């Protein structure tokens, strides 16, 4: 599978679900952990956000957090977490993610949490997105 690339933003951008209480909490933790690294956190649901990143479809964002690196490479889900935090102190420890078997477990667990995030954190969306996750 070819890796997704998009328009290079010149700095890392994390796209998360701003309508999800769990995702907003995780975004705050990312801000704290990343400090002044230049990484920007943006809700993919805000108007015009995805227009800046051709190829990053809303459906991808519904399923997982997206990390658009400064050069335009896109990572999603657990791998996005590893890539975003991997350059921070102690972040190198996250690269255990690439050990065969652990990656599959981490991806499965991430997908499970992402799929049920509105149930885990409670319904807070106003645009009907919760209905998508409660099918």
| Percent residues over pLDDT 70 in the chain | 89
pTM: 0.85
Per residue in 56-115, pLDDT tens?
999 999 999 999 999 999 999 999 999 999 888 778 888 899 999 999 999 999 999 999
Terminal Cα-to-Cα distance of the chain (whole angstroms): 29
For the chain, the domains span: 13-127
Distance of CA 55 to the CA centre of its chain: 15
- Paired tokens of 130: 């919760």
């Amino acid at each position: 599978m070819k890796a997704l690339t998009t328009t290079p933003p010149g700095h890392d951008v994390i796209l998360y679900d701003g309508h999800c209480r769990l995702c907003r909490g995780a975004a705050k933790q990312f801000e704290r952990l990343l400090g002044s690294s230049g990484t920007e956190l943006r809700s993919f649901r805000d108007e015009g956000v995805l227009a800046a990143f051709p190829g990053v479809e809303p459906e991808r964002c519904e399923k997982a957090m997206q990390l658009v690196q400064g050069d335009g490479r896109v990572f999603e889900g657990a791998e996005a977490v590893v890539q975003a935090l991997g350059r921070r102190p102690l972040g190198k420890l996250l690269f255990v993610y690439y050990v065969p078997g652990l990656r599959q477990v981490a991806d499965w667990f991430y997908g499970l949490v992402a799929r049920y995030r509105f149930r885990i954190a409670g319904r807070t969306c106003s645009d009907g997105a919760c209905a998508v996750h409660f099918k």
